Amino acid sequence: MRLLVAQLREHHIDTPEERVRVAVDGVLGVPSRGRLLLVHDDEKAIGVAYLSFVWALEHGGPAAWLEELYVVPERRNDGVGTALLHAAMGVARIEGCVAIDLEVEASRARVTSLYRREGFTQHARTRWVKTL
């Protein structure tokens, strides 16, 4: 929970912690919704990723949305993000996904280079959202 909330706050997303907890419980209770991946170092959580599963017409079948990938600031550039991404791609393959989608804030050059290096391609799209 702590890392997911830290990720959201770093991106100026103020979802209340209780709502994040409800969402996490929903994923843990229904594995077909997605997977949470956690990286530990000496009993301390240092990275987290969340994959959500969707049926995507664009990809012609099951796909994963890499909604979150977060590494604590003091462990960035240590390969933790790359390891999390590889683990997420492995989970997506095991689940039969044919693609992984994700989004990156324009100011996040470091993580953009990671995704490029791992074979992701950038789409010229803008994401829109409306809270219901």
CA distance 17 to 22: 9
Using alpha carbons only, how large is the chain's radius of gyration in Å? 15
State the pLDDT confidence band at 5, using cuts at 50, 70 and 90: confident
pLDDT reading at 34 higher than 90: yes
CA distances to 18, 20, 64, 70, 75 from 131, rounded to whole Å, are 17, 15, 22, 23, 33
Residue 66, number of CB atoms within 10 A of its CB:
22
pLDDT tens profile 85-126: 999 999 999 999 999 999 998 888 788 999 999 999 999 888
Query: pLDDT at position 107, please?
Result: 80
Residue 27: how many other CB atoms lie within 10 Å: 17
Question: Tokens in use for 105?
Answer: 């804030």
Task: Please give the class, per CATH, of domain 2-117.
Answer: alpha beta
Q: What percent of the chain has pLDDT over 90?
A: 71
- Average pLDDT value for the chain: 93
